[in-house]
């Protein structure tokens, strides 16, 4: 009898526990449904404004915990993603190449160095894709910092040659960027982009982000030409300076033009007498030629005599399966065949980069286009058939297949997002973000993204205390395009992957950015 009563009591308790669990689950489901409905209403109110409604919006918000969709609008439609493209390039690099990969730049020769310091062969500066042969200070901390030595790595290599006893070079100074194909620009880039730092040409031998710094100061008196100076190589561009100094208090107006393929800079406009001056980062034309000129000058400044000429060694796309060609500076390309360095070339000086993760942080925090393009070509070189855009995109396609992103949800033509021909769905972006979050490198990947109200391209957004540090996301911007995708933690501690892509706007940039931020804020606040 006692056992029977005990069993009945246990059954009643089990039923009671089951009922409590059922009620809790039902309550949670109702709460989730209410949360979802409230968010749909809030986002709908944000985007229903007439000016915003004329554009095209794509949004998806998905729980990292269970994969459930909290919000979706046009999530399977294709959008121009702008720099959200970098999420795909950097994630693939961390997954396939690894966060600890190091770039190596060397100075080599196929000749001999005798006891008198005479080098009988060519001296070859070999680039293998290091994007940080510059004055950028790493690791990245809150914002990009540059020291006053933009060519410090070249200086270190030149100093190492002096220590090795090199005094004479009978051969040529060769700048070799053949590790990647001579494919400087992406398909779909605008001609206007190629003048500026964000459209700098891509090369396996990249010095100072392949830009020069143009500094403009007012003249001493009204009516005089402004002072224009260029670093780190003052003679790289010819300057046609038409900028006039105007009375104090007038508006500064400066215009710059460089035709593609030209090394002539034309500057015009005016700068006020009391103006603090302006600085512009302008792209160079041929990075290897630039490096060869700089390196030769550094050697000569250290007392090393060079009897040969300076030239570049490129890998032309048409010759990838046959041979490497060379070009005598300042020509772009050429048809003079040269033998490649043997596998056992004598390495006279070398430089090794910091781990790859440090550059991925730079790419995502400040949206560095050139470095993202280098990563795409590195994917092709290390994991595909060639260091080309096509080779890198093929590797990226295979990676996304593993991630579970269907091929009809994206079209990429470059690795940075500067191409207007790139297309991707919000769902593809979120799928990538969810996949990355589950990988061993996922936390490192998330930490490379700008943090709301803290650093990178989000340092001046989401400044309220409730939002600061709650959003890790990549920004994107082109004319008529704004995007933001990444990870968000709600005030209840829930974590979501999200993507907000907007296209076809003819509005002030801040208007669209504020709308995106309001959408994300609604997610954080859970309403």
The residue whose two tokens read 């296209």 is 503
What would the two tokens of residue 332 be? 């772009």
* C-beta separation of 217 from 271 below 8 A: yes
Cβ-based neighbours of 471, under 8 Å, separated by 6 or more: 451, 452, 458, 462, 486, 487, 488, 489, 520, 524
Residue with tokens 């082109």: 478
Q: Is 404 exposed, middle or buried (0-12, 13-18, 19+ CB in 10 A)?
A: exposed
Q: What is the 3-state secondary structure of 20-43?
A: HHHHHHHHHHHHHHHHHHHHHHHH
Query: Catalytic residues, which ones?
Result: 83, 86, 367
Nearest one of 77, 68, 73 to 44, comparing CA atoms? 73
Q: What is the C-alpha to C-alpha distance for residues 305 and 285, in angstroms, rounded to an integer?
A: 27
DSSP string of 375-444, one letter each residue: HHHHHHHHHSSSSSHHHHHHHHHHHHHHHT--GGGEE-S-SSS--TT-EE-HHHHHHHHHHHHTSTTHHH
Cβ atoms 527, 493 nearer than 8 A: no
């Amino acid at each position: 009898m006692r056992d029977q009563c005990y069993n009945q009591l246990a059954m009643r308790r089990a039923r009671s526990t089951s009922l409590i669990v059922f009620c809790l689950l039902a309550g949670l489901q109702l709460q989730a449904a209410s949360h979802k409905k409230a968010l749909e209403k809030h986002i709908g109110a944000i985007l229903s404004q007439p000016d915003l409604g004329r554009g095209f919006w794509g949004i998806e918000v998905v729980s990292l915990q269970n994969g459930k969709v909290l919000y979706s609008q046009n999530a399977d439609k294709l959008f121009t993603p702008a720099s959200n493209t970098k999420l795909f390039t950097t994630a693939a690099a961390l997954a396939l190449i690894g966060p600890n990969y190091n770039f190596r730049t060397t100075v080599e020769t196929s000749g001999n160095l005798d006891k008198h310091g005479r080098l009988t062969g060519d001296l070859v500066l070999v680039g293998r894709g290091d994007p940080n042969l510059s004055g950028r200070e790493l690791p990245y901390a809150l914002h990009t910092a540059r020291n006053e030595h933009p060519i410090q790595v070249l200086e270190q290599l030149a100093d190492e040659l002096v220590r090795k006893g090199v005094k004479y070079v009978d051969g040529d100074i060769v700048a070799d960027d053949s590790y990647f194909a001579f494919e400087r620009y992406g398909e779909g880039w605008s001609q206007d982009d190629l003048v500026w730092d964000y459209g700098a040409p891509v090369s396996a031998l990249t010095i100072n982000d392949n830009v020069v710094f143009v500094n403009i100061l007012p003249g001493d008196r009204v009516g005089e030409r402004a002072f224009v100076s260029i670093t780190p190589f003052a003679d790289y561009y010819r300057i046609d300076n038409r900028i006039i100094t105007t009375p104090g208090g007038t508006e500064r107006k400066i215009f710059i033009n460089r035709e593609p393929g030209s090394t002539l800079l034309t500057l015009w406009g005016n700068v006020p007498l009391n103006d603090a001056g302006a600085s512009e980062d302008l792209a160079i034309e041929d990075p290897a030629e630039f490096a060869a000129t700089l390196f030769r000058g550094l050697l000569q400044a250290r007392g090393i005599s060079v009897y040969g000429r300076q030239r570049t060694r490129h890998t032309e796309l048409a010759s990838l399966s046959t041979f490497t060609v060379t070009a005598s500076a300042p020509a772009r390309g050429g048809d003079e065949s040269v033998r490649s360095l043997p596998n056992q070339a004598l390495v006279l000086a070398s430089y090794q980069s910091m781990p790859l993760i440090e550059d991925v942080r730079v790419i995502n925090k400040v949206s560095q286009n050139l470095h993202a393009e280098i990563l795409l070509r590195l994917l092709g070189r290390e994991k595909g058939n060639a260091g080309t855009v096509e080779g890198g995109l093929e590797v990226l396609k295979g990676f996304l297949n593993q991630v579970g992103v269907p091929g009809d949800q994206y079209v990429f033509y470059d690795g940075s997002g500067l191409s207007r021909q790139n297309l991707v769905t919000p769902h593809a972006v979120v799928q990538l973000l969810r996949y990355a979050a589950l990988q061993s490198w996922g936390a490192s990947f998330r930490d490379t993204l700008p943090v709301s109200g803290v650093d990178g391209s989000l340092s001046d957004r989401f400044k309220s205390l409730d939002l600061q540090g709650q959003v890790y996301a990549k920004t994107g911007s082109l004319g008529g395009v704004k995007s933001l995708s990444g990870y968000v933690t709600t005030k209840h501690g829930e974590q979501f992957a999200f993507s907000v892509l907007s296209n076809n706007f003819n509005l002030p940039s801040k208007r669209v950015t504020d709308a995106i931020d309001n959408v994300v804020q609604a997610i954080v606040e859970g309403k």
